[in-house]
Structure 1
Amino acid sequence: MNLRGLNYWWVFLVVAILAIMISVAVRNTPNTAVSIGDFQKDLQGQKIQSVTLIPEGPTTEARALLKDGKTVVSVRTLSNDPVLSTANLTKYGVNINIQPISNFNWWNLILPLTSVGVFILLILWMNRSARANSDAGVTQFSKSRAHVLTEGSIKLTFSDVAGCEEAKYELQEVVEFLRNPERFHALGARIPHGILLVGPPGSGKTLLAKAVAGEARVPFFSISGSDFVEMFVGVGAARVRDLFEQAKKAAPCIVFIDEIDAVGRKRGLNVGGGNDEREQTLNQLLVEMDGFESKHDIIILAATNRPDVLDNALLRPGRFDRQVVVDAPDVKGREQILRIHARKKPLDPSVD
């Protein structure tokens, strides 16, 4: 909402209220209201100096100035009342003034205009509020839905992951890079920006990605591939841009995309050959990964159990050019997993 413009409307509202108050004060000038009988008594007692007649349709208001020159009394009665007839008033030597019926009345002008102004002000204020809420909703709709875990908030480490020793060994280089990126930059070495974790469902790909962030003690952005895809064209691409903007500000960090095959499938396979929302989102993801510079120490980890359906542009060098296989654990690995889960459980000594 434009607060500067809203201040003008508040000024208008205050002026209108003041105008109404002034009009009411002018209209309600202190007069002593008397009955028609008392008015007639004052008239017969020769106490009235002059009378001003104000016709108001079927009624007439008479404002009488007494001979003391200070007191004004008023009476309202029917227009055809004989007490207020000119013949009756002149009989007692009263000066008569008659206000024309067409006399301009400020009250009749200000009240309708003020009411219309307040109504227009209310409509404009509601319109501004609705527009502000709508803009905020659209902006929020295009924001990334990634779950952000700040540095040090992940307590999970490689010691809490078992059954995938080969994968942990391959990811150790990523941990060293995130811990001390200047060391790699000084040697001219470049770590792959994208690492694809491939394995069957339930093999621990997501757990392994969190363990990498816990070992390196860096921020961790977690999002599912399906969170990018919406029915509105352009929303997914906007969310990708917002995600990577946040990641660049928090670098060094890890961006984890779970089930990347939901957005990274091969392009050109949809019915009709058109360019749908998913393909636009994938294009934006490819552009963002190409836009990384050496100063952006961001590692993209992605997980999938369907690497065969991924677009070739995602797997080319410079993007997800390294694949880490996370196989189902063997018997020894399953025993290690069981020991990890049983570390904080009270077990009987006889349990094998």
Structure 2
Amino acid sequence: MNLKRLARGPAIWIVLAVLILWLGASSFMTTGIQRIDTSDGLALLAGDTVEQARIVDGQQRVDLVLTEPFEDKGERVQFYYVEPQGPTVVAALEGADLPGGYDSEVPQTSWWVSILSLVIPFVIILGLFWFFMSRMQGGGSRVMQFGKSRAKLVSKEKPQVTFADVAGVDEAVEELQEIKEFLADPAKFQAVGAKIPKGVLLYGQPGTGKTLLARAVAGEAGVPFYSISGSDFVEMF
């Protein structure tokens, strides 16, 4: 696996964003406290095994600290209630015999959690946009490269092919002599007002030497030789 390519991709940033979001959410989750039914919580408040209680406003939750374990839930339990049950729960807390009393808590969201809640969705959307744009520009889809030339330059340092290397197509070589002269010295023809041809179509069965002829023209004229596949040519135009 290419680690550098992975680091440049959006996947790692999406994973980091989700991890930060999970850590931020987990820091506000109550740990080590077992949940019980609302009826069991009210029954505990009516008994004498509750040492301390806390009601969390906004979450409709009551946390209880017991003097002895409740069933298999341990000594720290919590229960939730629906909004219409609020007065009943408050009355049960006020009427309970709690050695440690009870208090109420209004949870405050920290500033960095507020910032994360705004930044993380933006980062995820940006990462997905980056991912899809990368896919569109890659080999799977060439939408973003439509119309761009895919011609490949053959290095001039390689051995040059000339007309002497071509045999059996003398008529084609004779026709291409003028094209070679155009490419070798275009200024001479432009000076007399001649219009340089835009191209020549070589056709024939595979293996008859069309590409070799094109290389020979470039070699004789001393100009670069470019190659492009037929499918890329059709796609470009």
TM-score by length of 2: 0.54
Question: In the alignment, is residue 119 of structure 1 matched against residue 121 of structure 2?
Answer: no
Q: 1 CA distance for matches of 2:62 and 2:197?
A: 80
Consecutive unaligned residues in structure 1, runs of 5 or more: 144-241, 271-275, 282-298, 303-317, 321-352
Q: Residue 41 of structure 1 aligns with which residue?
A: 43
Indicate whether 1:78 and 2:88 are aligned.
Answer: no
Cα distance between partner residues in 1 of 2:131 and 2:106: 42
Q: Against the structure 1 CA distance between its residues 41 and 108, is the aligned structure 2 distance closer, same or farther, given a 3 Å change threshold?
A: farther
Partner of 1:138: 148
1:97-134 deviation per Cα after TM superposition (whole angstroms, max 9, x unaligned)? 22225444977764553332111111123334445654
Task: For 1:138 and 1:76, locate their aligned partners in 2 and report how far apart those are by CA, in whole Å.
Answer: 63
Q: Is the 8 A contact 2:42 2:89 kept in 1?
A: no
- Percent identical pairs in the alignment equals 13
2:159 aligned partner:
251
How far apart are 1:62 and its partner, in Å? 1.2
In the alignment, the residues of structure 1 paired with residue 197 and residue 107 of structure 2 have an alpha-carbon distance, to the nearest angstrom, of: 72
Contact 2:179 2:217 in 1 (8 A): no
Equivalences for residues 1-352 of structure 1 within 5 A: 4=4, 7=7, 9-26=10-27, 27=29, 29-56=31-58, 60-68=60-68, 71-81=75-85, 82-85=87-90, 87-94=91-98, 95-100=101-106, 102-104=108-110, 110=116, 113-131=119-137, 134=144, 138=148, 140=150, 142-143=151-152, 242=153, 245-246=154-155, 248-254=156-162, 260=176, 264=182, 267=190, 268=193, 278=198, 300-301=216-217
* Residue 138 of structure 1, CA deviation: 2.9
Shift of 1:63: 1.5
| DSSP-derived class of the 1:249 partner | coil
- Larger fraction in strand: 1
1:111–1:83 distance in 2 versus 1, CA, 3 Å: same
Q: In structure 2, what is the Cα distance between the partners aligned to 1:84 and 1:124?
A: 51
Contact 2:36 2:79 in 1 (8 A): yes
One-letter identity of the residue aligned with 2:57 = P
In 1, Cα distance between equivalents of 2:159 and 2:106: 83
Give CA-to-partner distance per residue, 1:171-204, whole Å, 9 cap, x none.
Answer: xxxxxxxxxxxxxxxxxxxxxxxxxxxxxxxxxx
Task: In structure 2, give the amino acid aligned to 1:63.
Answer: D
Task: Name the CA shift for 1:301/1:103 in 2 (closer, same or farther; >3 Å).
Answer: closer
Partner of 2:57, secondary structure, is: strand
- Give distance in 2, aligned partners of 1:262 and 1:104: 76
Question: In angstroms, what is the RMSD of aligned CA positions?
Answer: 4.3
From the superposition, tell whether residues 104 and 51 of structure 1 become closer, same or farther in structure 2 (CA, over 3 Å): farther
| Structure 2 counterpart SS, 1:250 | coil
Aligned letter for 2:148? V
Q: Which has the larger radius of gyration?
A: 1
Change (3 A) 1:80 1:300: closer
Measured at CA, do residues 319 and 125 of structure 1 come closer, stay the same or move farther in structure 2, by a change above 3 Å?
Answer: closer
1:208-264 CA deviation, whole Å, 9 max, x = no partner? xxxxxxxxxxxxxxxxxxxxxxxxxxxxxxxxxx3xx43x33315337787646895
Moved more, 130-139 or 32-41: 130-139
Whole-angstrom distance in 2 between the partners of 1:74 and 1:103: 21
Aligned to 1:338: none
Aligned to 2:207: none
Unpaired runs of at least 5, structure 2: 167-171, 200-214, 223-237
Separation (CA, whole Å) in 2 of partners of 1:40 and 1:319: 98
Corresponding residue pairs, total: 175
What TM-score do the two structures reach when normalised by structure 1? 0.39
Q: Given that residues 60 and 80 in structure 2 are in contact (C-alpha distance below 8 angstroms), is that contact kept between their aligned partners in structure 1?
A: yes
